[in-house]
Structure 1
Amino acid sequence: MSSSCRIWRRMQMPDLARIHRYHSLPEQGPKVLFFSGGSALNKISRVLKGYTHHSIHLVTPFDSGGSSARLRAEFDMPAVGDLRSRLMALADETVMGQPEVYALFTHRFEMTATLAELTEELKQLVAGTHPLIQPILNPMRELIQTQLGVTQAKISEGFDLRGASIGNLIIAGGYLNNQQQLDPIVFLFSRLVKALGEVKTVLDEPYHLSVELENGEKILGQHRITGKEQAALDSPIKRMWLNKGLKAVAPINSEIADDRRDMIEQADLICYPPGSFYSSLLANLLPIGVGRAICQNPNPKIYLPNLGVDPEQFGLSLMTQVERLVTTILADTQSIEAIHFGGLDFLLLDDRYDYGDIDENKLNSLGVSVIKTPLITEKEDKYDEQMVVKALLSLM
């Protein structure tokens, strides 16, 4: 008969001995898992790869704005912008990596160019004559050309390439060339750029985000709730779900793959990081099996809340954010007889920033403890990436 237990140790913040050990041997570093999307975590990721090459990044494939939206509409595919962005943040930027591939993946077509100019530029990339692709050695160059050639052949005439990311077009070609699966091409290009960590979409499905506001309005599409491409919400979000398409309310969901479940269950630490609260963080927790896997993991789970204003958090206090986070995780555990561990252990806060009222009794009832430590530079009202990374590493 087996049983589950947790062993706690005395904690130092920051724990300089642990930090030094990880920094000395990042190849043997811990498995820190992040549920995130967007670019909010990219700077932290760049710092973290100096301490561990085993971080895990589960990102959302549900974005519906920007140039990714055009690819999604064209091929009915998941969004790949966050995937590509995080891969680049984790790429080995030394000579031992592939700086030429990095430069190609991060390049975007000009917004002011004509369709004819951009079509010609894509043609040059596929042919291998473009100055960005020429320095890349074979067989890597031929591999990239093949994926871009698939995209070129399958996009409709007049497809708007303005502002399109070359990296997104390459990944899209790989997706189309691998039976509409992202994992094979992501695995391949992770190796090409020598990503010092692992990046995967939480689901490999072309779903969208939908929300209902407190005023009863229902909104379809991630780009309509972030407050970036359209006007900010004027009513708080009441609930969110995954939706099939953007034309009508059609709730849908799928179970995470076994490898995602194993990653979550076996992570040395789980972090719910800063970023768009609903479309980047909670969206990752919606697929079936995520919450269950989190609650099977005995290791620390940390929430590092946003600083400043996130339009998606309109009407949400810090305490409400914590409650929504825990509720979203536990909603996935209702169909099982027992859960071994909770969904959140620690609220990690800067020791001087004003996050609003903190109800210690409420946090205790949720099984959450507060850790306060310096996380913000004196002159700037934003998290210091080095301080955040060292705080997280001190918890393992």
Structure 2
Amino acid sequence: MVDVRVTRTARVPDPLRVQRYHKAPELGPKLLFFSGGSALNGISRRLQHYTHNSIHLVTPFDSGGSSAKLRKAFGMPAIGDLRSRLMALADDSILGHPEVCRLFTYRLPEEAEPDALRATLDTLARGQHPLTGDISNPMRRLICNQLGFFLEAMPDDFDLRGASIGNLILAGGYLNNHQQLDPITFLFSKLVHVRGTVRAIIDQDYHLAATLTDGCQVLGQHRITGKEVAPLVTPIARLELSADRDTYEPVTAKLHKRNQRLIASAELICYPPGSFYSSLLANLLPHGVGRAIHANRCPKVFIPNSSPDPEQAGMDLERQITTLLDTLHRDIGETCPTRELLDFVLIDSERGDYPGQLSPDFLAELGVTLIDTRLIGENDAPLYDPDLLVTALLSLV
């Protein structure tokens, strides 16, 4: 057997290539994203019109908001980001199931009394609420069964205010499937015709732990991301996993073989924009992720945030790339050549608000190619335009 790596000259953007994918998205390429949160949802909505084969490995480490209530009650991984990405990739054509999407995106009112919220949830679980009544069998029965499992397990003091029904359905399915996420994620995907594959990077009940450059430690995703508490002022030096949100208990997570196979099948691996530590690097922490990326010879591209990210205090572009590679090297080893982990950095320097610049010497030493092209629309600056970014990524495959 001879190991041969075939390369080609890519044009970015490549309208003909993108048009070909648009005509037959069911045959589209396998673009893989390590992400979480909502930053990639707009891109995912556009991507489904070009490929039904994208792969999304999502962080299950959210420790704030409604996810925190579920995690505290059931000792489970966070599922909010999974639900959000599944919804972003759900079939939005006339062949889809908009009535199911309406149910999965519905939230119980914040101001209602506990008894009223419980009564509404009970009505939903019995299939007697308009939102579930609009869904035909057997889908309605499947959904109501998952809500029923959640109701049976729900603690008496569980706070239902603002709860996402989609999250509760996923939680019920998780509890009904021996505390495994993949079976209910698969069912959820079929119910709403998800055009792609969405999985949690791991399914353990773990939390993020950040060590700052001053030696202090910050536990929990909600304290790191700067969205529910004051943003970090001191830069992050290292990100790890903990078994507890409030007390540091270091743990080692291992990439499941099924996710290893997904990484191996990718035709392009993307380190996308979003919360740099809690969405991107968090996905790279389990043992085996770096090795799986290294083993796949497909193109790998990093897309820095085009506007300030609270998690990246004190980090310029070069530091971001170095930190990304350092995180991957923790799994694969320091001797692994950079070119086997990262090929391209994709930016729009004219319209984006990036911290610092990338020097030619820095890129040359790493063997990384800079692609500086239009990714930001006139009305959205400095945020990426989903169509322009999707077009650029598809041009590389």
- Sort the TM-score into its range (normalised by shorter chain): over 0.9
The Cα shift of 1:351 comes to 4.4
* Counterparts of residues 179-198 of structure 1 (less than 5 Å): 179-198=178-197
Structure 2 length-normalised TM = 0.97
CA contact (8 A) 2:339 2:368 kept: no
Distance 2:215 2:332 in 1: 27
The Cα shift of 1:338 comes to 6.7
CA contact (8 A) 1:375 1:383 kept: yes
Deviates more, 1:4-13 or 1:44-53: 4-13
CA contact (8 A) 2:329 2:336 kept: no
CA contact (8 A) 1:350 1:373 kept: yes
Distance 2:281 2:336 in 1: 23
CA contact (8 A) 2:231 2:310 kept: yes
What residue in structure 2 maps to residue 384 of structure 1?
385
Structure 1 residue matching 2:68: 3-state secondary structure:
helix
Distance 1:308 1:119 in 2: 41
* Counterparts of residues 185-224 of structure 1 (less than 5 Å): 185-224=184-223
What residue in structure 2 maps to residue 352 of structure 1?
350
Structure 1 residue matching 2:124: 3-state secondary structure:
helix
Counterpart check, 1:282 vs 2:249:
no
Structure 2 residue matching 1:330: 3-state secondary structure:
helix
Q: Any idea what the Cα deviations from partners look like across 1:335-365, whole Å, max 9, x if unmatched?
A: 9x97796211100011413522212212222
CA contact (8 A) 2:46 2:386 kept: yes
The Cα shift of 1:394 comes to 0.4
Distance 1:176 1:12 in 2: 48
Structure 1 length-normalised TM = 0.97
Q: Any idea what the Cα deviations from partners look like across 1:292-340, whole Å, max 9, x if unmatched?
A: 00011111111111122111001111110000111111211129x9779
Distance 2:2 2:281 in 1: 30
Counterpart check, 1:240 vs 2:239:
yes
Distance 2:98 2:164 in 1: 17
* Structure 1 counterpart of 2:242, one-letter code: N
CA contact (8 A) 2:300 2:341 kept: yes
Distance 2:213 2:2 in 1: 42
Q: What is the aligned residue count? A: 394
CA contact (8 A) 1:125 1:145 kept: yes
What residue in structure 1 maps to residue 149 of structure 2?
150
* Structure 1 counterpart of 2:393, one-letter code: L
Distance 2:130 2:120 in 1: 10
* Structure 1 counterpart of 2:75, one-letter code: D
Structure 2 residue matching 1:302: 3-state secondary structure:
strand
CA contact (8 A) 1:292 1:339 kept: no
Counterpart check, 1:109 vs 2:108:
yes
Q: Once superposed, what is the RMSD of the aligned Cα atoms?
A: 1.4
CA contact (8 A) 1:209 1:279 kept: yes
Distance 1:276 1:340 in 2: 23
* Counterparts of residues 1-396 of structure 1 (less than 5 Å): 2-334=1-333, 342-353=340-351, 354-355=353-354, 356-381=356-381, 382-396=383-397
CA contact (8 A) 1:297 1:341 kept: no
Distance 2:173 2:103 in 1: 16
CA contact (8 A) 1:5 1:298 kept: no
CA contact (8 A) 2:339 2:366 kept: no
Q: Any idea what the Cα deviations from partners look like across 1:158-186, whole Å, max 9, x if unmatched?
A: 21001110000000000000000000011
CA contact (8 A) 1:295 1:339 kept: no
Q: Any idea what the Cα deviations from partners look like across 1:87-146, whole Å, max 9, x if unmatched?
A: 000000223111111000000111111111111100101111111100101111111111
Distance 1:24 1:217 in 2: 53
* Structure 1 counterpart of 2:147, one-letter code: L
* Structure 2 counterpart of 1:58, one-letter code: L
